[in-house]
Every structure is written in C-alpha cells, then in structure tokens.
Structure 1
Amino acid sequence: MASMASRGISWSDSALRILRNLDNFSQSALKHSCVPLVVCEKRVGILLGSVLDHLIFFPEVFRFVRNEDGETESVEVSRSLDTYDARSEAINKVVVKLAKDGSFETLNGWRYEDYEVTPGPNEPSLFKLERAATTLFGVRSYGSHLNGYVHHPEKGVCLWLARRSPTKQTFPGMLDNLAAGGIGVGSTVRETMIRECYEEASIPESLAKKMVSVGCVSYTYESFRGISMEMQYCFDLELPLDFTPKPMDGEVQEFMLCDIDEVKSLIVQDDFKPNCAAITLQFLIRHGFVSPDSEPKYAEMVEKMTNWH
C-alpha cells in the first residue's frame, strides 16, 4: 500500500478525515428525512424513514404526529404507556417482533444487554432498550473508554492497545483502547470502567481505581446499522512497567505496547475502531504529542472534537 506521503496526504489530513467520518450525520443526505422520537414531550432519538415504515404498524405503541400536509413531523411513544416499565415492555415487544421478521440487519446482533434511554446525560431514564436496537431508534448510548499507558525508560510514553477478537459482533479484529464497554442498565460510569478493566485486560480493581477522568467525546454517525448517537466517558491510567494486560473474557485477541510514533501511524491506517481512534487521538493531543507546532491541521482537529454533539 502506498504511503500517505507518496499519495500526497499528510498525517493531519488523515486524522481529520477520521474525525469527520465519525461525526458524519450532520452531512448525511438522509438527515432531512429523519424525524425525532419523542417520549413525555422530550426528544430521545432520531428515526430514519425506513424505520418509520415499520413502526406505523404498531399504533398502540407509537403515535405519528403529522403536519397539515400529512407529513410526519415526529413519532411519539403512546402517552397511555405512562411508566418506565410499561414503555420498556411495549417497545421491547416491537423490537423482538422486528428481529423475528428479519426487518433490520442490526437486530441480527442481539446483545442481551439493555441500555437506559434518556433525553440527555444525568436525566431520568424513560425506558430501557436492547443494545442492538439503539441505532434503530437513534437513541444516545453511553460508554467508558480507558487509555492505558506507561513511561518506558527507552521509548518514552507508550500506549497499550487492544486488538478486538475476530468473533466480535462489531468491528472484529480492529484496534481498540486498552479497555472499553457500554454502560448498561444499573451500572455507573466508573463501575463500568472498573469492570471492563478486569474482564477485558485483567487489570485488578486496586489498580483500575487509580484511573483519572479526562472528559467525554460525543458524536453522531450514520452507518448500515442506523444512526449511532454516542457519548464516551474517557479515562487515563498510568500502568506499572512490569504489568502486562491479559485477555480474559474473549473479547480481545491480543494487547500491544506501542510507542507514540507507532500509535500515530496506526491511527491513520484505518485499522482502529473509529471511535477508539478518536479517543486515542484525544490522548495524544492532551499529552502534547500532537501540537500546533507539529501538525498544520491541529486547530481543525481540536475544533472538530469540541463541536461534536
């Protein structure tokens, strides 16, 4: 494969392309045909036209709000479903029916894990939803990601990267952060991160508790699965030189310790799960390994991540 330089593409250009692709919904041709999903007069999701064509057959669960021209302006979860449990049960039955009918590819990867559906961070949950269906309803999902690093006496700062199992339902075999996971029903951000540290990388709780919260990244992108609205809580953890992460739960194929130059090269080779590439890039920016002096598109990269929504 030709190098970026031989193709006239700088590292900055490639890194910025990754960020733009991850937050591509604002440029989607389908954006203007989408309508909001509303619960208790609060917007909780975004529905594609292809989804509307199926939800219309469940009038006891979904009410289509139309304008004077008969065009759908929004879809409202029936107000008769006036409790968390009632909404969760009714919507789950719809999702199960759509899965059995084979209506949407994303439902083939049923996860048996529920996510809370809220209007925004720290707002009360209005119902719970099978993880595989979150992109179908365009609801925001939440996760925790950990950048694990060491201070190597010869190579300087190095990052531990994970290669996802080839049997993973999403992004099999691609590079990932040291540990990461979705925040399911009944779990807090920190509990999720500590659990994923142990389950994915064999990091004991006593060590994982030393992680430092370093912010969030939030973005919306369109893919074959639907609309992904995601917010990832990010953590850094400095690890001892003599600690080696080990796969435990089968979700990771291997771990690699990479110096900064190797990490920068891997980020732009499209070998990373896209959001993990962005979270790794954020680490490089925060720690000064990507700076305005070294990268001409530095300001655009920072601005892009700042303006994600």
Structure 2
Amino acid sequence: MANSCCCYHLSHKLRSSISSLRNLPLTSSPFTRRRLKFPVSPSRRTHTLSAANHVHRCGFTWDDVFKLAETQQNDSSDLQGFFEKVKLCNRNSEMQCEFIPFVLEKRIVGYVHNRFADHLRGSEDVFIFPDDTSYGGNFGCYITLHPMIRTIEDRTRAVEDVIKCLGEELIPGIRNELYPVTSSFGMPEFFSLERAAAPYFGIKAYGVHMNGYVERDGQKYLWIGKRSEVKPTYPGMLDHLVAGGMPHGISCGENLVKECEEEAGIPRSISSGATAVGAVSYMDIDGYRFKRDVLFCYDLKLPEGFIPKNEDGEVESFKLVPVTHVANIIRRTQFFKANCNLVIIDFLFRHGYIKPEDLGYLELLQSLRSGDCS
C-alpha cells in the first residue's frame, strides 16, 4: 500500500494526455555515451596552491582574492588549472550505472539513483516501475508516472505531494520554485518539478549566466559578485554579476532581464543590450544527485560609470576585477561557484585570452560542452 501522506487521489475527470507527444522518438541515453577523458595539459612550472587552498577552506575576503590574483605568477598559456575546474563540474561519470531511466511518453526525461528510487516505490499510485530494459540501465526496469496521471497540472501536483512527503531530509533546500521537465530545450513540457528536486530526478536543467564587463584604457574588467554568507547554497563564494536558473513559463531573454534587475540593479534599458553568445554544459554525479545542466551564456558591455547594486539580498558585494586576474583566480583557487568557471573560461576563449597556440586549446574548448547540450 502507498504511504497515505503521499497518496495521490485520482480523479475520474482526468483529461487525456497530449496525444501529439506519444510518438516522439527516444532520446539518446548517457549510458551509451563514451566516457569523456579530460586531457592533462602539462604544466610548465610547479603550482604552489597551499595558501589559496587554506583560504578556501577557512573562508575568504576580497583582500584574499586580490592578493592571490596579483601575487600568483601568471602564465597565460598554462591551461591545467582550467581543465581542473571543468573536471569539478563533471565528476563520477562511472557511477551512471547506478541510475534508473525516468521515462515519460516514450522519452527519457531524467535518471534516478536506484537507492533514491526505493523512496518512490511506496507511492505506487504516482510512480511505477515497468519491467523493461529498452531504455537502458542495469536494473531491468525504468521509472514512469502512473498512466492515469495524464495532464501537466495533475502530474505536477502528484509529484509535488510526494516531494513534500520525502521532506528536507531527503531533498534539502526546497524553494517552491518550479522547473519544467522536458526531454530537451524547447520541447513540450511534461510537468513542472520543484527546483531542489531536479538533480534527484536527473532532469535536464537550464540557466542563464551573464558576463558583465567594462573596457577601460584598452583593458577588460569583469564585474564579480560575492554571494551572501547566509545563502543555503555556495555561501560566500564568487559568482557572476548575473546568473539564474530557468524557471517555468519564461524565456531566456526575459529571465535574464529579470535577473539583471534583481541581482545587480541593471535596468532593462541596459540589460536589453546583452548578447547571447552560446552555451556550456556538464554532467555531474554527487551521491543521489545527477546534474545535467545547460547554461546559456550572455555578454553585456556595461558603461564605465555603472555600479551594480544587489536588490534581492543574495549578493554580499560586487568588485570590478581585471579579466587577467579573474583568469588567475580560476586557475589557482576554488573561490568561484563551480559552474561559473565554465562560463568565464568560455569568455576567455571568445575574447582572445586563451589562444590556439596554448597547449590543450581544442581539448579545453570541447570540454566546456561535456554534457548533453540539447
């Protein structure tokens, strides 16, 4: 019997599912993808990271950031530190075999760790486990929603009830913010899922990250934020001027404008000038969490006199930092929130700070899209 608090009471008035989605082709499975091998770019010197690592473990200030950026010897052709940051976003690929495909209307939409799946088996009127190996995996089954739960709204409510019952112990940091569940970007939505639960169901999640930069006397500077110490995720770490996940029911462009206003006080008259410049992707496994993220990248050249101001309390402060120093911080420390590193490395490529003559250039460029960029 299903746990009573997780029981979803089916209605006789449930509408039929969206027929146009039934016969869509299967998505490719990461279980069949070749494991990505990150090349090791030979270092031309021995890195001394003890001071930076000590500061990272104990917390750091802006003074620490600038001191390390300025005092560390800078060899712009040494890409090894960048490779290491890409690896931090693409851990434990060998653990994919521990996950069960999550399938809706013949499309793989996510992956659930087999032990986390045990917590879903009690909600048998919401989640079912058909015996079928056609979607891959090592457990002789896949996970799907009960066939009587057919509409987007009913699916959203049913899964939401289960997540509430699982609680903060299993899914910490519940935000009451919904992410759309799709097989790939721009495809029809199957239902909406609590943001904090997204990696536990291995769904594809999308975000927008913006490099806000200034040109002064022929040199480029990036506005960098330091996250609030009271944020539940990555407190006190360095971050982009503007970044945010893609919630339900909003376009990338409008989401960026919204985040610009909330996170940095950038008015629409300025933020509307941001340029979409591509995307980065990664696949990271951490325990029961399987992150399959795609970040849409934007550049915005800001007026020299503009000073960002956080409006939502999530950023402690901002500093304008020379791009060469930002590159050094990424190479030598773990001060940045991990996925920000990928977007800034992409910026370094596009603005000529990483050159084809640098050993490992093409391998590093390719590694910025290690995940399923679809």
1:168-183 to structure 2, matched below 5 A, reads: 168-183=231-246
Q: What are the superposed Cα offsets for residues 29-64 of structure 1, whole Å, 9 maximum, x if unpaired?
A: x21121110111111111111211111111111111
Query: Contact conserved, 1:64 with 1:72, CA < 8 A, in 2?
Result: no
**Percent identity between the aligned chains?**
32
Displacement after TM superposition at 1:65 (Å): 2.1
What TM-score, normalized to structure 1?
0.91
Displacement after TM superposition at 1:307 (Å): 4.2
Query: Contact conserved, 1:16 with 1:297, CA < 8 A, in 2?
Result: no
State the 4+ residue runs in structure 1 displaced beyond 6 angstroms.
Answer: none
SS at match of 1:264: helix
CA distance in 2, matches of 1:64, 1:225: 18
Pairing 1:219–2:282 present:
yes
Q: What are the superposed Cα offsets for residues 83-109 of structure 1, whole Å, 9 maximum, x if unpaired?
A: 111111111111000016x2x1xx221
Query: Contact conserved, 1:166 with 1:173, CA < 8 A, in 2?
Result: yes
Pairing 1:167–2:235 present:
no
SS at match of 2:231: coil
Q: Number of residues paired by the alignment?
A: 298
1:281 to 328, 341, 345: 345
Q: What are the superposed Cα offsets for residues 226-278 of structure 1, whole Å, 9 maximum, x if unpaired?
A: 11111111110000111111122111111111112211111121111111011
Q: What are the superposed Cα offsets for residues 168-202 of structure 1, whole Å, 9 maximum, x if unpaired?
A: 12111111111011111121111110011111101
SS at match of 1:74: coil
Pairing 1:271–2:271 present:
no
**RMSD after superposition:** 2.1
Pairing 1:14–2:73 present:
no
Judging changes above 3 Å, is the alpha-carbon distance between structure 1 residues 18 and 253 closer, same or farther for their aligned structure 2 residues? same
- Map of 1:262 onto structure 2: 325
Q: Larger % of strand: which?
A: 1
What TM-score, normalized to structure 2?
0.76
Query: Contact conserved, 1:35 with 1:48, CA < 8 A, in 2?
Result: yes
- Map of 2:152 onto structure 1: 84
CA distance in 1, matches of 2:46, 2:288: 34
1:301 to 355, 364, 372: 364
Judging changes above 3 Å, is the alpha-carbon distance between structure 1 residues 165 and 8 closer, same or farther for their aligned structure 2 residues? closer
Query: Contact conserved, 1:40 with 1:79, CA < 8 A, in 2?
Result: no
- Map of 1:143 onto structure 2: 207
Query: Contact conserved, 1:159 with 1:258, CA < 8 A, in 2?
Result: yes
CA distance in 2, matches of 1:203, 1:249: 13
SS at match of 2:141: strand
- Map of 2:126 onto structure 1: 61
Unaligned runs of 5+ in 1: none
CA distance in 1, matches of 2:369, 2:117: 32
Unaligned runs of 5+ in 2: 1-43, 50-74
Q: What are the superposed Cα offsets for residues 189-225 of structure 1, whole Å, 9 maximum, x if unpaired?
A: 1111001111110111100000000011121111256
Judging changes above 3 Å, is the alpha-carbon distance between structure 1 residues 80 and 281 closer, same or farther for their aligned structure 2 residues? same
